[in-house]
């Protein structure tokens, strides 16, 4: 592991007072300088060029060692098929180390997979089954024909003649049914005797599958115990302890941030600030842009980093700042006793969350104590500002829900995008969306499992290098407008200030400008530019 020096141009840059809050941050100038140095290094490595062009998350951690200041670098997962390279910090636990138990046990499980595949390829039913099906089918047809002839004969026999003749017809039917049962049992016995080897292979496969399952679970738990993480106090916890009682997600502990902090603690370095950034092309489903900085993922890293940051002076969550200011910026612009239209400021939740942050629902319960019913009919993202419809009675709540369900409520947003676009350009973006289960609340494009999502867009103007768009969602998926603007298969042009899909800024430049229902249009003419 190498402590990398900074260029002379940042020697006078003051270190931050607080360590980075990793789930929402603006990269410190020292992190930006470290990231630039890291990019210069990887650009010299031709053997990594193709892989990095396909996309990779990298990270930097600014540290001090005595009077010396420098930075550490990390990559997520593997690079060039390896978990370790000279320039970067080592993994928290090296799965690929020679002689590692994980490699040996994984090879044994792979061997079981090969044995199962080989046995499955030999699973062929007895050829007697086909012959049995043909003969039994032919006899069933014979029985059906005989039944039809008996039914026809019964119609020609008078009631006086039916006695003995009727009994004979019944005996014939019973005999044919008994003969079919005897024939079927005989065939099944022949097939059973001929498939002894098939059943042996099936039983062997079942035993191998059971062994594979047990060894996989045991190996997974062993691996979770090997991933142990330090914090600034020297305390250590494993993945099993950090995620208990849940099962840690795949890849937990292999991201940049845990690697960087673990390396710093092991070497006795003092962390100052940290940042993670993307290089290369965006993944097909996710939204990542080359050179953009991204917060740590919550599903894999929140429990880990919450522990690892203990003992550091970490900056406050920026999303929790200025709560009273947000409440003062919430405006009721219409109230008829049944419903209200409110203008929500950026940074405020629509409904109560886990952190006790200000939200529209609680604020309105205080502002309109006479309100009855659920209140919130639809939501805006916390980072989005603009108009929301609010029900003040339960009856109106259901009425508005029905209008939304049948798409009788029309919403128009204004958005400022990172780059200019041709004025007047318009069209439809259609990209199905689903939650990114490994990194909530992010959403991702998934053409197989995603829900349909459509957005109308029109470029209104260009202002100081940014395109001003009018966006009209046809559907109402979470983060729909943000993903449709940012995704390479959408506009490939993130909304300014989009900390999840673009670059963080003072605020997300997305504003719910107008809402129309029951022939009435409300507008909020806030100028987001």
Residue 26 to residue 29: CA distance in whole angstroms? 9
Contact 293, 27 (CB under 8 A): yes
8-state DSSP, 10: G
For this structure, is 133 an active site residue? no
Contact 229, 302 (CB under 8 A): no
Contact 256, 262 (CB under 8 A): no
Assigned token pair, 194: 């001929």
Residues 6+ apart with CB under 8 A from 182: none
Annotate 319-361 with three-state secondary structure: HHCCHHHHHHCCEEEEECCCEEEEEECCCCECCCCCCCCCEHH
Active-site residue, selected from the candidate residues 194, 381, 525, 527: 381
Contact 292, 501 (CB under 8 A): no
Q: CB-side exposure of 148: number of CA atoms within 13 Å?
A: 6
133-166: string of b/e by CB count within 10 Å (b at 16+)?
eeeeeeeeeeeeeeeeebeeeeeeeeeeeeeeee
In which residue are the tokens 């200030």 written?
497
Contact 473, 483 (CB under 8 A): no
Q: Of 21, 431, 492, give the one whose Cα is nearest residue 288.
A: 492
Q: Provide DSSP, 183-209.
A: HHHHHHHHHHHHTHHHHHHHHHHHHHH
Residues 6+ apart with CB under 8 A from 363: 327, 330
As a 3-state breakdown, the chain gives helix, strand, coil percent values, each rounded to 5, of: 40, 20, 40
Q: Is 125 exposed, middle or buried (CB count within 10 Å of its CB: 0-12, 13-18, 19+)?
A: exposed
Residue 194 to residue 201: CA distance in whole angstroms? 13
Furthest CA-CA distance within the chain: 121
Residue 90 to residue 253: CA distance in whole angstroms? 12
DSSP H stretches of helix in 333-407: 360-367, 394-405
Length of the chain: 529
Active site residues: 381
């Amino acid at each position: 592991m190498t402590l990398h020096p900074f260029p002379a141009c940042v020697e006078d840059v003051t270190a931050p007072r607080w360590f980075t809050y990793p789930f929402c941050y603006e990269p410190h100038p020292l992190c930006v300088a470290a990231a630039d140095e890291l990019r210069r290094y990887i650009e010299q490595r031709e053997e990594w060029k193709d892989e990095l062009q396909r996309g990779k998350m990298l990270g930097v951690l600014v540290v001090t060692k005595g009077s010396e200041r420098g930075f550490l670098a990390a990559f997520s997962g593997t690079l060039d098929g390896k978990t370790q390279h000279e320039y970067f910090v080592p993994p928290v636990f090296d799965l690929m180390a020679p002689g590692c138990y994980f490699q040996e046990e994984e090879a044994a499980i792979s061997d079981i997979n090969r044995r199962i595949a080989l046995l499955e390829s030999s699973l062929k039913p007895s050829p007697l089954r086909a012959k049995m099906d043909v003969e039994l089918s032919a006899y069933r047809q014979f029985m059906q024909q005989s039944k039809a002839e008996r039914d026809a004969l019964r119609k020609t026999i008078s009631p006086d003649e039916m006695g003995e003749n009727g009994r004979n017809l019944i005996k014939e039917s019973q005999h044919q049914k008994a003969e079919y049962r005897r024939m079927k049992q005989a065939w099944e016995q022949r097939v059973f005797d001929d498939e002894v080897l098939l059943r042996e292979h099936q039983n062997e496969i079942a035993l191998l599958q059971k062994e594979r399952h047990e060894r996989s679970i045991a190996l997974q738990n062993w691996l979770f115990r090997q991933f142990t993480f330090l914090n600034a106090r020297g305390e250590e916890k494993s993945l099993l302890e950090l995620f208990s009682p849940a099962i840690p997600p795949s890849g937990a502990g292999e991201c940049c941030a845990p690697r960087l902090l673990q390396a710093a603690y092991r070497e006795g370095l003092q962390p100052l600030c940290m940042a993670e950034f993307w290089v290369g092309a965006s993944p097909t489903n996710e939204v990542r842009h080359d050179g953009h900085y991204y917060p740590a993922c919550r599903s894999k890293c929140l429990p880990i980093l919450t522990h690892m940051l203990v003992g550091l002076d970490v900056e406050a969550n920026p999303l929790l700042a200025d709560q009273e200011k947000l409440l003062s910026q919430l405006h009721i612009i219409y109230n008829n006793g049944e419903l209200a239209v409110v203008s929500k400021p950026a940074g405020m939740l629509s409904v109560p969350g886990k952190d006790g942050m200000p939200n529209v629902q609680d604020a309105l319960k205080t502002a309109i104590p006479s309100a009855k019913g659920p209140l919130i009919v639809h939501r805006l993202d916390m980072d989005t500002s603009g108009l929301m419809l609010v029900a003040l009675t339960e009856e109106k709540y259901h009425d508005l829900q029905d209008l939304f369900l049948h798409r009788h409520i029309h919403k128009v947003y204004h958005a400022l995008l990172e780059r200019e676009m041709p004025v007047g350009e318009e069209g439809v973006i259609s990209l199905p969306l689903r939650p990114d289960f490994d990194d909530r609340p992010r959403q991702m494009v998934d053409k197989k499992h995603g829900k349909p999502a459509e957005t109308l867009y029109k470029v209104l103007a260009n202002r100081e290098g940014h395109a001003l768009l009018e966006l009209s969602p046809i559907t109402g998926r979470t983060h729909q407008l943000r993903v449709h603007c940012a995704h390479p298969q959408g506009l490939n042009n993130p909304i300014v200030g989009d900390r999840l899909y673009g670059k963080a800024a003072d605020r997300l430049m997305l504003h719910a400008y107008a809402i129309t229902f029951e022939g009435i249009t409300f507008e909020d003419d806030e100028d987001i530019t």
